[in-house]
């Protein structure tokens, strides 16, 4: 069930944490600690089955290894998923139990927030372990990573847009943002300020209306956003939106967004390239959040460190685009091979 699972990729450690008293059922996956202790957030989600949760944590933890390597962080990749119980009796107790499970890993894994989990939950984890970041209090506390994530996505998007259309603004371009949550909202602010014509979509209709007013945007129904007329598609909801079918119908010339695991499978990256569209790999453009979290884990004192690392994401994106053109390969495959070289310590390829 585990070693021949389709998403198993020689993960170093997979821990199943079960705590009857609090109702915690979680899986912690450490994909790689080659570059440093594994780091990656904790997701609380209603999974249809244990296998669906396992698949998610295996894919997400591998993504974190690649993300941290491409962001130039001395951290490996890991992730936690909590299978949300029908009813959470005591949320603090649930996250304290998770903290105990993380503490048993002795510092080989650091956690932080992800979908469905907030700073108060991390504070509860911190009652049982010090291997937790994304806290609101403390000397190196980094708080909500979303604005930094949005900044990284925006910086990379501008680099990609400049390459395709020239110019330093988004004036005259239609940009469709799917998901107007913490990252999507910040991103809309930057895109609007850069002169983009915005299409916005969220399953929460009220949020979409708010965005329409705030950013002079046009609301598109969730089921219609992928087929709308647009120049740039910005996925900021959940993963898996780019499938072999959906990219065929997608009008956008470029795709750049915050959602993790946007490509349903590897073949989609190749198809996007064949269609003449530019895909900016998710784990590079959305690394702002983990850079913010890393400043807390690594106890960085230099105030310019985060800014420099986030700006460097656009440089990495440029390198990936160049390399993809040179090798006639798709950007997702090129990003993977550069990340693998960095993890293997092959500086020649990783440069
Ligand atoms: P969030 O939970 O604050 O926002 C997600 C938004 O997407 C919500 O408003 C939700 O209603 C909407 N949504 C869900 N399904 C949708 C659909 N089918 N169509 C349209 N809207 C839909 O999440 P957040 O923090 O903004 O993250 C967005 C994505 O970026 C997630 O995939 C997350 O894993 C990823 N990410 C977030 C980081 C962060 O710093 N928050 C860091 C790196 C990645």
Binding site membership of 260 for ligand 1 (Cβ less than 6 Å)? yes
Indicate if 79 belongs to the active site. yes
C-alpha span between 19 and 284 (Å, rounded): 35
What is the predicted pLDDT for the residue at 349? 47
Give yes or no for a contact between 246 and 147, defined as CB atoms under 8 angstroms apart: no
Answer whether residue 350 shows pLDDT above 80: no
Mean pLDDT of the chain: 95
Ligand 1 touching residue 155 (CB < 6 A): no
How does pLDDT run across 57-72, given as a tens digit for each residue? Answer: 999 999 999 999 999 9
Q: What is the mean pLDDT of residues 176-185?
A: 96
346: confidence class by pLDDT, cuts 50, 70, 90 = low
What's the confidence (pLDDT) of residue 347? 52
The pTM (predicted TM-score) of the whole model is: 0.94
CA 238 to centroid of ligand 1, rounded, Å: 6
Residue 4's pLDDT is: 87
CB half-sphere exposure, 320, CA atoms < 13 A: 29
Encode pLDDT of 315-326 as tens digits: 999 999 999 999
- Quote the pLDDT of residue 307: 97
Nearest residue to 234 via CA among 270, 284, 269, 285: 285
The pLDDT tens digits for 124-151 are: 999 999 999 999 998 888 888 999 999 9
| Closest C-alpha to ligand 1, atom 32 | 259
How far is the CA of 256 from the CAs of 12, 24, 126, 325, in angstroms? 30, 35, 34, 18
Select the more confidently predicted residue: 139 or 122.
122
Q: Which residues contact 263 (CB under 8 A, 6 or more apart)?
A: 240, 242, 269, 279, 282, 332
Position 348 scores a pLDDT of 45
β-partners of residue 272 are none
Would you call 10 helix, strand, or coil by DSSP?
A: coil
Q: Of all residues in the chain, what percent carry a pLDDT higher than 90?
A: 90
CB 201 less than 6 A from any atom of ligand 1: yes
């Amino acid at each position: 069930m585990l070693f021949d699972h389709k998403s198993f990729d020689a993960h170093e450690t997979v821990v199943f944490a079960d705590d009857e008293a609090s109702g915690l059922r979680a899986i912690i996956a450490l994909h790689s600690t080659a570059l440093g202790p594994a780091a990656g957030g904790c997701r609380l989600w209603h999974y249809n089955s244990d296998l669906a949760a396992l698949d998610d944590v295996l894919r997400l933890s591998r993504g974190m290894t690649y993300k941290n390597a491409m962001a130039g962080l001395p951290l490996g990749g890991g992730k936690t998923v909590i299978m949300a119980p029908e009813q959470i009796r005591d949320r603090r107790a649930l996250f304290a139990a998770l903290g105990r499970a993380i503490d048993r890993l002795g510092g080989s894994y650091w956690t932080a927030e992800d979908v469905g989990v907030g700073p108060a939950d991390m504070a509860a984890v911190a009652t049982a372990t010090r291997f937790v970041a994304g806290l609101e209090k403390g000397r190196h506390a980094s708080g909500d990573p979303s604005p930094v994530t949005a900044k990284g996505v925006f910086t990379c998007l501008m680099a990609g847009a400049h390459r395709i259309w020239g110019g330093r603004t988004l004036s005259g371009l239609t940009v469709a943002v799917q998901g107007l949550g913490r990252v999507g909202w910040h991103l809309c602010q930057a895109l609007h300020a850069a002169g983009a014509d915005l299409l916005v979509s969220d399953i929460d209709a009220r949020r979409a209306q708010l965005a329409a007013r705030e950013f002079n945007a046009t609301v598109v129904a969730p089921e219609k956003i992928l087929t709308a007329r647009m120049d740039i598609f910005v996925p900021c909801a959940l993963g898996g939106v780019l499938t072999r079918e959906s990219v065929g119908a997608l009008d956008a010339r470029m795709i750049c967004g915050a959602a993790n695991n946007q490509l349903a499978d590897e073949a989609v990256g190749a198809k996007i390239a064949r269609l003449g569209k530019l895909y900016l790999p998710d784990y590079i453009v959305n690394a702002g959040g983990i850079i913010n979290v890393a400043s807390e884990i690594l106890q960085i004192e230099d105030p310019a460190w985060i800014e420099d690392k986030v700006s460097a994401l656009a440089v990495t994106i440029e390198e990936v685009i160049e390399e993809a053109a040179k090798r006639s390969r798709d950007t997702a495959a090129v990003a993977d091979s550069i990340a693998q070289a960095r993890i293997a310590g092959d500086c020649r390829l990783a440069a």
